[in-house]
Amino acid sequence: EAAAGATSAYNLLFRRTSTFAITIMVGAVFFERLFDQGGDLIFEQMNRGKLWKHIKHNYENQDEE
């Protein structure tokens, strides 16, 4: 079954140079997006309570008084 899936993927995506190139480009875009969002998530978790969006409510109320 795994070999049938691999054969189907090869015939659909990698057999022709044009579809191979498009597959690589689309995969790179999705990987970049996933990597960027993952990095942002890790950064925000490591800096929780230190970023402006987490503490701005402390300062916005003081400006109004």
Q: Tell me: the pLDDT tens digits for 1-40?
A: 789 999 999 999 999 999 999 999 999 999 999 999 999 9
Q: Report the distance separating Cα 44 and Cα 49, nearest Å.
A: 9
What H or E segment, with its residue span, contains residue 24?
helix 17-46
User: Could you give the domains of the chain?
Assistant: 1-58 (1.20.5.260)
Of residues 16 and 65, which shows the higher confidence score?
16
Candidates 14, 34, 33, 10; CA nearest to 24 is 14
| Contact of 23 with 13, CB cutoff 8 Å | yes
Q: Quickly tell me which residue has 């990597």 as its tokens.
A: 35
